[in-house]
Amino acid sequence: MTGEHFVAIVKQVKYKPSFLLSASCVVSPSHIGRTCVLRIESTQPDAFNVKEVATPTYLKAFNEAILENMTEEDTVEMVRRSLQEYELHELDEWFEYEGKRIHYPHQRQGAEAHV
């Protein structure tokens, strides 16, 4: 699969109305070959900036060479898993018990509060 095929597949993925998925592949000056990026944006409010409508964004970047052995099904599954990871990250940012956040997705692992 090429980067162009990856971009075309991502264009065919549909998810929630508040989500925008896009993909691109560009020549990377710091790496050999091209870097491909899957971008997921959402107009949901951000847990750390609730008063402003932020655009929480998830980026997954990788060397285009990874695509060589991927099938269309692999790519669709990668996008699905990326959406899943994004949603779990947002869950951890918003989930509270007794007014306290239990998980802190922006801190290193093991930094969770105890119930």
Question: What are the domain boundaries of the chain?
Answer: 3-101
- pTM, 2 dp: 0.81
Mean pLDDT of the chain: 85
| 3-state SS track over 11-26 | HCCCCCCCEEEEEEEE
Q: So what's the pLDDT on residue 111? A: 46
pLDDT score recorded for residue 54: 62
Per-residue pLDDT of 61-92, as tens digits, reads 988 888 989 999 999 999 999 999 999 988 98
